[in-house]
Structures are given as C-alpha cells and as structure tokens.
Structure 1
C-alpha cells in the first residue's frame, strides 16, 4: 500500500475542467433549497447562487438538472421553494441533501422543519427566503432557476457553512 499526498482518483492536472476550477475558487455560503410538503418534499444543497437586488429582488441558482428539486421546480405546477443559508453545524445535512452521505430514513428525518407555503424550512435556519420560480433555463450542465423573493428573513451568520474548492470551511 502506498500513501499518496494527493487524491489517488483525482483527474490529472492537465485534464481538469477549467470552468469548474474557476467556480471552485469563488467560494461562498452553502444554501439548502427545499420545496413540497409531506412525502412530496425535496431538497438540494446549492452553492452556486446569487441574489439580484431590485423591486422585486431575485435569487438565481444553478441546480443539478437530474435532481428531484430541479424536476419539481421546472414542472411549473407548484413553483415555490425555500432557500436557506446553512451554518457549520449543518455540514452533515448539506452532505445528505447533496447525496454524498447516507441519510437513513431520508435527509428530512435528520433535522427539525417548519412547513411553510413555499416548502419546508429548517427550524434553526437564521437566514431564509420563501421564493416563487419565475424562470428556468438550461445553462451549461445545470438548470438555472430564477426565483422572486417573496419573504426574506436575515439573521445572525456567526458560523456560516462555506464551500470553496470542493471542501467545507467555517
């Protein structure tokens, strides 16, 4: 057995996707997007997002087009969702909703939720927004979802969950 200083399955330096590497260097706070109610709840960890201030204001997110959340939000029958910013203590939950960590019983069973008209909201989320999808389009390998911000709560962000270059930071 050999101990490597780098990841043994990493794509070789010269073959790495440069756009993905650029995105990874931008970093930012990790969000969790959720929608639905009861057995129809879906969610996805999203770190590629931005807020466009204005009257009204919007949030734009890049979602995995194969995710249950993207499927729900692009159907158009109930175009509402909740966008919540995660804290460091939510990192396991972020991994579960990203599909990178096992979630026995489902990811929603690993936190406490408040059901809103736009979908489930983490009970301990301090910053969140209830949104209505206004537009979706395919962009690169993602689906861009543009949402009008209907209700916004901005709270403390003492220990935000940050994502940069494929790793969580705080």
Structure 2
C-alpha cells in the first residue's frame, strides 16, 4: 500500500479552473455565517469575505446562491459572522457540507443566542450584521452580499483557521 501526499483522484493543476486556482492562493481566515432561531437556524462556511471600513463598516461576502443560509439571510436580514480557529476545522467542514453532522450542524458546538442569530460560544471574534439596502448581485457562480456591521466583539486569538489552496493551514 502506498500513501500519497496528494489526493490520488484530484484533477491535475493544469486542468483546473485558473480563477479558482488564483483565488486559492489568496488565502485567509475562515468565517462562519449563521442566522435564524431554533429549528430555523442556518449557517455557511465562508472564505470569500472582505471588510470595508467606514461608519458603519460593511462586510462583502460571496455566498452560494443555492445554500440554505443564503435564503435564510435574505429572509431574516441579520446574521452573525464569526472567525474560526484551528480547533473549529471540522465545524467549518460540516457547515460547508464536507463533514458528517448527525442530528444537524448546530449540534456540533455550543451556541449562544444574539439579536443577529446563533453565535459560536468559543469564537475569538464575531460581529452582528444586517443586510444592507443594496440587493445581492450575481457574480460568477456566487451571490455578492453586502451587510452592515452593527456590533463587533474581539477577544484574544489562539490559532486562526487559515484556508489556502484548498486546505486548512496552521498559522505557526
């Protein structure tokens, strides 16, 4: 038996979408967006996120238009954006639909209710956001969403969950 360092069935680099390969080299901290209450909660792992400073600050995110979260956000108009750490990598995969979550993804962690939706209890940074008056725009295969930041909480950060070139990386 041979153990490979790469996925044996992965599409060769030269055959992959160049735009996705370029985006993969940008990297960044993985975020988790959540909204809703009780059985109507929804969430999505987000790595295409930009912060626009201002009064108020805005977050611009590229979301999967077919995800349950995107529909829930449009309905609720509020969400929590939390930055994940290395210890949350399985949670990130579960909310991305890549890791099993028996009983649902919200059973994999402890959550606290907020005015914007469920907040991961052990996150080191989160903000409550409200969908802006700018209608979401189809951009490529994604939906560009603009949310205004209403409240931000930042605590000490241990090990941010970095995503680069299709993999999680430790910051150290």
Normalization by structure 1: what TM-score? 0.93
Segments of structure 2 that go 5 or more residues without pairing to the other structure are none
- Distance in 1 of aligned mates of 2:26 and 2:50: 12
CA distance, structure 2, for counterparts of residue 145 and residue 115 of structure 1? 23
Hey, what's the Cα distance between the residues in 2 that align with 1:169 and 1:4?
18
Q: CA RMSD in A?
A: 1.4
Write the distance in 2 (CA, Å) between the matches of 1:2 and 1:161. Answer: 29
Deviations 1:51-87 (A, max 9, x none): 000111101111111110112223xx32000000001
Deviations along 1:32-58, one digit per CA (max 9) or x if unpaired, are 000000000000111110100011110
Pairs within 5 Å for 1:75-86: 77-86=75-84
Does 1:36 pair with 2:36? yes
- 1:49 maps to 49
Deviation at 1:158, TM superposition (A): 2.1
TM-score between both structures, scaled by the size of structure 2? 0.92
- Please list every run of 5 or more consecutive structure 1 residues that lacks an aligned counterpart in the other structure: none
- Match of 2:125? 127
Q: How far did 1:9 drift? A: 2.1
Runs of 4+ in 1 over 6 A off after TM superposition: none
- Whole-angstrom CA distance in 2 between matches of 1:29 and 1:21: 17
